[in-house]
Amino acid sequence: MGLAARGVLLAVWGCVLGVSCVKRPVDYAREQARTLAPAKLESSSQPSTGPVRKIRVRVYADSDYREQVLRWRSSVVSQLQRASLVMQGPLGVVFELESTREWAHRGVEGELEGSLTALELTDPGEDVDLVVGFVSALKLFSSAQHELGMARLFGRHCVLREMGNPEEVRAIMEALIHLPQDERQTLYQERKMHKETSVFLHEWAHTLGAFHVRNSHWMMFPNYAPAQAAFTPQTLALLKTSLRHASAGRRDDAGARAWATELGALLASTSSPDWEGPEKEAVVEWLAKVRESKATLVVHQPQATLPPEDRRRLDEILALEKAGRVEIAAQQMEPLARRYPEDSLVQRMACYLDARVAPKLPATREKCEAAAGKFPSEPAPLLQLALLDLQQGHHLEAQGQLVRARQRMEANPGTPPEVWGDLADLFKQTSSVTWAEQATQKAGNDSRAEPLRTWARQARRWKALPVDVSVSGVAVEREGEFIRAAKDVEDSLDKGLATKAQARLTWLRREFPRAAVLHVLDCEGHMRAGRPGPAKAACRQAVAAHEEAVQAHFILGWLASASGPREEARTHLERVVALEPLHRQAWQLLAEQYRAVGMAEALKALQGRYREQFAQELR
């Protein structure tokens, strides 16, 4: 008997005799399969006592989807049946297929807005409750709901991707490599069907006015997860209200006002941590406008459609831009832009591409200004105009464009979070702290949100700018001017340009006489001139006016480190480290203070925190 065979027998006898033995890989794979299995959507429903409500659905399948899904009509029927099983309990809803149709459309990777508009133009859907367009799967895995499906709030249409993502298939197959092929395939199919059903219900709920929630446990969260099994009770109440009004509300203004009135009252009277936030606030504001006949319920009305050949050409241009071939994309966009001056998407893209390729040409600005004027609900051309102004150093003009863009976005409750993220980032470039903070709040889970919040905190602390305008003495619309002027003073002091610094400081005193940063800048000027007494007095005034004035704390700590008392130095330096953890010099000065008085435990704790912050040792 060979050594390998003998080893196997010994392992088997060890298990038989009760000796601890290692689980087989297949056991671990089955345990992992249980963790990867999706939640049972059907089990989340509560029985419905009301009548069955049939939602008539017309389905379009574009050419890519038909190529990717064998027996696609049967697949659509199965998806609607699964969605019905979930919704019949809590809402009495059954999705009934009216018809399936082939769709002469080809989408673009990562872009669903154009597909949704094309679907709305293909079929207004006035004789059914819902029109669904199926488009191609993503090539790369994504859990972001806006990349898996799209619908307009209070609309009648949605587009959904094919969920057979090859990257996801490969990941599951590799994770469960020790399981038989049929078991792995079964688990993948379960996850795929869960994803199809969950994303479909997420987008359908948007058409009834449902907005995103803040808890990832629920199906209206902005990112999909296999563990999501139900809508929040509050979302179910919203859907129940909207189902009573949707048919009449989409047909005439009186019905829309009745829908807005009852739904607005429900939202105003219902509170939940999972529900609160900017998306709910936007819907509440919009319903109020509809109730007062100041707005229509459905915001986006599609423009005239492009012929199929030119739609394909536009899709190719979008793909070129995404691949980084911006100059070629701009060149190919020119003839389309000339042929379709009334098409919103074409004109927005023409403005965007020219702004990328030729930002200094007067023709670029003219094109973006024309698009901004022709399409008064679109914020995108105004954002591009703001970028053009920023590139030329025209901050006030850029700020004006951003304020106009924000007004358009606030008038549309369906504005995507990523567009709010764009706005917040541009407000940051104009140093408009409050407006950047407000836009960041509406950006939700956008990847830029946390860096933007960090920037805003730092800007307020370094420029001694409290949130309360009555305390700061700086009007919100003038924050950019204020911060840029304060920075000019600091830069001039750093370069030894005392006369220039004094001239800018005089302007600041005249325009913002109550601003705490004036004391900080006085403090810096005295310190650089070797006048520690007046420097301390000015910095103490700054801290009294705004306790988070981090530079004033640092200067006070630094001066006390040099001449005492040590307790005062520690107090101010500890405050700097708390307010601005990236201020390395404050950490080092504080460590010196702890060493000087033998505070070994405090020093050790400080060194540990420094190691966590910078991944380096504090010497």
Token readout for 484 is 């840029």
Judge whether 454 lies within some domain. no
For residue 170, the model assigns a pLDDT of 73
Q: How far apart are CA 150 and CA 468, in angstroms?
A: 39
Do residues 260 and 377 share a domain? Answer: no
Least confident of 33-37, 111-115, 160-164: 33-37
Distance CA(273)–CA(262), nearest Å, equals: 22
Residues 48 and 188 in one domain: yes
Overall average pLDDT of the 425-432 stretch? 96
| Band of pLDDT at residue 8, cut at 50, 70 and 90 | very low
Of the pLDDT bands very low, low, confident and very high (cuts 50, 70, 90), residue 439 is very high
| Domain shared by 250 and 324, yes or no | no
Confidence of residue 299 (pLDDT cuts 50, 70, 90): low
Task: Report pLDDT for 363.
Answer: 92
In a domain, residue 9? The reply is no
Quick one: average pLDDT of 591-611? 92
Mean pLDDT, rounded, for 506-515 = 93
Q: How many helices (H) and strands (E) would you count in the chain? A: 29, 5
pLDDT at 32: 59
CA distance 606 to 584: 12
pLDDT more than 70, % of the chain: 89
pLDDT at 47 over 60: no
Check: CB of residue 59 under 8 Å from CB of residue 134. Answer: yes
Token pair in block for residue 240 = 């129940």
Give residue-wise pLDDT tens across range 53-82.
Answer: 999 999 999 988 999 998 999 999 999 999
Pairing label, strands 157-161, 149-151: antiparallel
Mean pLDDT of the chain: 86
Q: What is the mean pLDDT of residues 253-259?
A: 91
Looking at per-residue pLDDT, the higher value among 19 and 56 belongs to: 56
Q: Which of 258, 292, 326 is the last residue of a domain?
A: 292
Minimum mean pLDDT among 20-29, 325-334, 402-411, 555-564: which range? 20-29
Would 35 be classed as within a structural domain? no
Q: Measured between alpha carbons, how far is 47 from 388 in angstroms, rounded to an integer?
A: 57
Task: Determine contact, residues 430/391, Cβ cutoff 8 Å.
Answer: no
Q: Model confidence at 109, in pLDDT bands (50, 70, 90)? A: low
Asked if the model's pLDDT at residue 44 lies above 80, the reply is no
Written as six digits, the tokens of 193 are 């069907």
Q: Give the burial string for 537-548 (b: 16+ CB within 10 Å, else e).
A: ebbebbbebbeb
Among the listed residues 126, 482, 180, the one whose alpha carbon sits nearest the alpha carbon of residue 298: 126
pLDDT reading at 17 higher than 70: no
Dihedral in degrees, nearest 10, Cα atoms 480, 485, 487, 492? 160
Residue 535 has pLDDT above 90, yes or no: yes
Q: Residue 180: its pLDDT value, please?
A: 77
Backbone CA torsion sign across 164, 167, 169, 172: negative
Copy the structure tokens of residue 8. 């196997």
Phi, psi for 525 (deg, rounded to 5):
-60, -45
Instruction: For the chain, give the number of residues.
Output: 619
pLDDT band at 145 (very low <50, low <70, confident <90, very high): confident
Q: Tell me the C-alpha to C-alpha distance, in Å, between residue 152 and each of 6, 62, 100, 298, 413.
A: 67, 20, 21, 8, 9
Q: Is 600 a residue whose pLDDT tops 60?
A: yes
- Is the pLDDT at 397 greater than 70, yes or no? yes
Nearest residue to 257 via CA among 301, 291, 216: 291
Report how far residue 103's alpha carbon sits from residue 308's, in angstroms, rounded to the nearest whole number.
11
The mean pLDDT of 177-189, rounded to a whole number, is 76
End-to-end Cα separation, the chain, in angstroms: 63
312 in any annotated domain: yes
| Rounded Cα gap, residues 12 and 377, in angstroms | 73
Total domains in the fold of the chain? 4
Local confidence band at 303 (pLDDT 50, 70, 90 cut-offs) = low
* Full 3-state SS string of 540-583: HHHHHHCCCCHHHHHHHHHHHHHHCCHHHHHHHHHHHHHHCCCC
Please determine, for residue 11, whether its predicted confidence score (pLDDT) is greater than 60. Answer: no
- Is 209 in contact with 263 (CB distance < 8 Å)? yes
On whether both 133 and 254 belong to a single domain, the answer is no
Q: Is 27 within the bounds of a domain?
A: no
Q: Output 109 or 323, whichever has higher pLDDT.
A: 323
| 82/134 same-domain check | yes
- List, in order, residues 6 or more apart from 122 with CB less than 8 Å away: 60, 103, 105, 133, 305
Q: Which of 190, 207, 224 is the last residue of a domain?
A: 207
- Please check whether residues 57 and 124 belong to one and the same domain: yes
- The rounded percent of the chain whose pLDDT value lies above 90 is 54
Sheet of 149-151: strand order equals 93-103, 53-62, 130-135, 157-161, 149-151
CA dihedral 25, 31, 33, 34 (to 10 degrees): 170
Identify which of 572, 577, 547 has the alpha carbon closest to the alpha carbon of residue 561: 572
Whether pLDDT at 613 is above 60:
yes
Q: Which of 415, 431, 454 is the last residue of a domain?
A: 415
User: Strand 130-135 to strand 149-151: parallel, antiparallel, or no bridges (unpaired)?
Assistant: unpaired
Among the residue ranges 17-26, 330-339, 564-573, the one predicted with the least confidence is 17-26
Q: Looking at residue 18, what is its pLDDT? A: 40
Q: Are residues 109 and 203 in the same domain?
A: yes
Residues 314 and 288 placed together within one structural domain of the fold: no
Residues 506 and 394 in one domain: no
260 and 198 together in one domain? no
Give the per-residue pLDDT at 33: 56
* Other CB atoms within 10 Å distance of the CB of residue 250: 19
- Residue closest to 549 by CA, chosen among 611, 492, 471, 494: 471
Residue 252 maps to a domain: yes
The verdict on 533 and 565 lying in the same domain is yes
User: Does residue 121 have a pLDDT over 80?
Assistant: yes
Cα(120)–Cα(126) distance, integer angstroms: 11
Domain limits for position 581: 476-614
* Per-position b or e across 326-357, b if 16+ CB within 10 A of its CB: beebbebbeebbeebeebbbbbbbbbbbbbbb
Residues 6+ apart with CB under 8 A from 195: 38, 148, 163, 224, 226
> What would the pLDDT profile of 155-179 be if each residue is shown by its tens digit?
999 999 998 877 776 776 666 666 7
Radius of gyration of the chain (CA): 30
Residue 299 domain-assigned? no
Q: Among candidates 372, 275, 370, 301, which has minimal Cα distance to 155?
A: 301
Evaluate whether residue 3 is within a structural domain. no
Tokens 């003998």 sit at which residue?
Answer: 6
pLDDT digit string, tens, across residues 219-254: 998 888 888 889 999 999 999 999 999 998 888 889
